[in-house]
């Protein structure tokens, strides 16, 4: 399974999963149809699945047009998003599995950004390969999504699920927010040498207009403050030893950043 990262809108990423042997493709969170249709034409492949993580328009905006071109494609989304995702046919719950080509993904229920958000985790085929996590707007490189429909306690449970995945997991998040996320992270975790190094690297990448997605989960565990709510230095920074309160205060600070 090859993953193509397609820029869309102002800062979105659409992910096209491609099985070259079968000449079939699936798409994760098509913000708009045109980049997907263009890539499918280049690959001379058929779209068979649309995997949505949540209902926001910048994640499902291309569904209807894609279905006009590929009416046989199956649209997947969370069961709690019933009625909110255009064309949805399959309603997924935590622990369900979806298959594309010769790969099978586990569905993770990760509410917080929205009440119905799900993620798709494709474990590695071999022990020396990397897994692939398509996490929408729950986890970002260096950050996490805003809490529009969920609570801090929900978001911590969701992020804990993602944090518990293997270190060698590629994190395919849906927005190019990394530089600003790390700028904020440095204001609350400025003694973190891994974070300092990552910020310098990302700054150079963005100066060259290079994408910072995917990141590696081990890198997120070391540098992303929203996966480090149990670290004493961050708890001290927000004057709380309670994990939920620590996370909530960090998220509130980021909202105002």
**Active site residue ranges:** 54, 56, 58-59, 113, 137, 175
For the beta carbon of residue 21, count every other beta carbon within 10 angstroms. Answer: 8
- Closest alpha carbon to 125 in 212, 19, 50: 19
What CA–CA distance (Å, rounded) separates 115 from 81? 8
Q: Examine residue 144 and say whether the peptide bond preceding it is cis (omega within 30 degrees of 0).
A: no
HEC string of 214-239 equals: CEEHHHHHHHCHHHCCCCHHHHHHHC
């Amino acid at each position: 399974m090859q993953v193509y990262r397609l820029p869309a809108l102002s800062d979105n990423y659409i992910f096209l999963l491609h099985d070259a042997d079968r000449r079939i493709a699936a798409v994760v969170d098509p913000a708009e149809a045109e980049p997907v249709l263009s890539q499918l034409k280049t690959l001379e492949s058929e779209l068979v699945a649309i995997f949505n993580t949540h209902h926001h328009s910048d994640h499902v905006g291309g569904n209807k047009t894609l279905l006009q071109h590929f009416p046989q494609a199956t649209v997947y989304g969370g069961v709690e998003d019933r009625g909110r995702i255009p064309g949805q046919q399959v309603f997924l719950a935590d622990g369900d599995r979806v298959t594309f080509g010769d790969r099978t993904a586990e569905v993770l229920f990760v509410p917080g950004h929205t009440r119905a958000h799900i993620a798709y985790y494709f474990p590695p085929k071999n022990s020396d390969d990397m897994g692939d996590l398509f996490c929408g707007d729950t986890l970002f490189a260096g950050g996490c999504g805003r809490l529009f429909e969920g609570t801090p306690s929900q978001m911590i449970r969701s992020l804990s699920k993602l944090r518990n995945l293997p270190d060698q997991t590629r994190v395919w998040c849906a927005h190019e927010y990394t530089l600003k996320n790390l700028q904020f992270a440095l204001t609350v975790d400025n003694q973190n040498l891994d974070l300092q190094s990552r910020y310098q690297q990302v700054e150079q990448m963005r100066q060259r207009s290079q994408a910072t997605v995917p990141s590696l989960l081990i890198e997120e565990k070391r540098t992303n403050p929203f996966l480090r709510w149990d670290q004493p230095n961050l708890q001290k920074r927000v004057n709380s030893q309670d994990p939920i309160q620590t996370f909530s205060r960090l998220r509130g600070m980021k909202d105002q950043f």
